[in-house]
């Protein structure tokens, strides 16, 4: 990530996001078979040539919608709020709280649901989680400044981000923020799941 983006960089990011947002909205409304690239550029207000400068296909554009979550602003907020004796696990916990907002989690679950319906999206699920994981690793490496062994931040980020997959694809009964449930459903609130996951990491399995 460029720490000092130029005006041109910001315009490119805005263009890519507008195209990705349009693709995601069309996918939700019409399904992946219900729209083409021309529909995306028309809704976003760009040309097909501009689309081709950023994405190779509509599936890639839909997946790209989720890539702006690990922003420079989040990193600044993260480092400013941590105590001097904070560990990489503390930093990762705060990053997840900043990154995985209620809105983001609900939309990410919608993306996973779309991928279950449309096989053409399936390869992009791993890509989304991999890129989120890499962004987290970069944050942790900046935070740790060489105080931990090589590979530690990779292992830590991999374990945490991997734990989100089963709650998004429905294999674990976890209520996302804002979702209603009752005691009979046996569903665990998201914050409880997050805290339990980090308790395992802090205490060992």
149: helix, coil or strand? coil
pLDDT at residue 144, as a whole number: 85
Q: To the nearest whole number, what is the mean pLDDT of the chain?
A: 85
| 167 neighbors 174 (Cβ within 8 angstroms) | yes
What is the CATH code for 1-64? 1.10.10.60
- Using an 8 Å Cβ cutoff, are 11 and 1 in contact? no
pLDDT (0 to 100) of residue 118: 93
Q: Where are the domains of the chain?
A: 1-64, 66-205
Higher pLDDT, 172 or 3: 172
Q: Nearest Cα to 110, choosing from 177, 50, 61, 62?
A: 62
21 vs 97 pLDDT, higher one: 21
Decide if 1-64 and 66-205 have a common fold: no
Comparing 22-31, 71-80, 191-200, the range with the smallest average pLDDT is 71-80
Distance CA 35, CA 25 (A): 11
Contact present, 20 and 65 (Cβ < 8 Å): yes
pLDDT tops 70 at residue 126: yes
Mean pLDDT, range 130-155, rounded to an integer: 85
Look at residue 151 in the predicted model and tell me its pLDDT: 86
Residue 69 is predicted with a pLDDT of 46
Residue-wise pLDDT for 150-184, tens only, equals: 788 888 888 888 888 888 777 888 888 877 765 55
Helix/strand/coil for 170: coil
In angstroms, the CA 35 to CA 32 distance is 6
- Entry pTM: 0.76
Give 196's contacts (C-beta < 8 A, 6+ positions apart): 188
- Alpha-carbon distances, residue 108 vs 58, 85, 169, 185 (angstroms): 17, 33, 10, 22
d(CA 29, CA 106): 15
Judged against a pLDDT cut of 50, whether residue 49 lies above it is answered with yes
Q: Could you report the per-residue pLDDT of 53-95, keeping only the tens digit for each?
A: 999 999 999 998 876 544 445 566 777 778 888 889 998 998 8
Reference 27, options 67, 57, 51; nearest CA is: 57
| Exposed/middle/buried for residue 203 (C-beta within 10 Å: 0-12, 13-18, 19+) | exposed
- Specify the CATH number of the domain 66-205: 1.10.357
More confident residue, 104 or 59: 59
Cα–Cα distance measured from residue 24 to residue 107, given in angstroms and rounded to the nearest whole number = 9
């Amino acid at each position: 990530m460029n720490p000092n983006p130029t005006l041109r960089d910001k315009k490119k990011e805005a263009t890519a996001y507008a195209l990705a947002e349009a693709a995601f909205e069309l996918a939700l409304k019409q399904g992946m078979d219900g729209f083409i690239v021309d529909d995306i550029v028309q809704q976003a207000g760009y040309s097909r040539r501009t689309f081709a400068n950023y994405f190779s296909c509509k599936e890639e554009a839909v997946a790209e919608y989720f890539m702006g979550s690990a922003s420079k602003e989040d990193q600044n907020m993260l480092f400013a709020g941590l105590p001097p004796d904070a560990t990489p696990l503390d930093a990762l916990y705060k990053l997840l709280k900043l990154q995985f907002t209620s809105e983001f989690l609900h939309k990410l679950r919608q993306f996973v649901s779309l991928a279950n319906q449309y096989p053409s999206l399936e390869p992009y699920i791993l890509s989304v989680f991999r890129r989120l994981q890499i962004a987290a690793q970069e944050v942790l490496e900046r935070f740790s400044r060489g105080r931990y062994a090589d590979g530690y931040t990779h292992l830590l980020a991999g374990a945490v981000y991997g734990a989100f997959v089963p709650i998004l694809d429905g294999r674990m009964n976890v209520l996302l923020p804002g979702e209603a449930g009752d005691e009979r459903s046996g569903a665990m609130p998201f914050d409880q799941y997050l805290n339990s996951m980090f308790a395992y990491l802090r205490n060992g399995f």
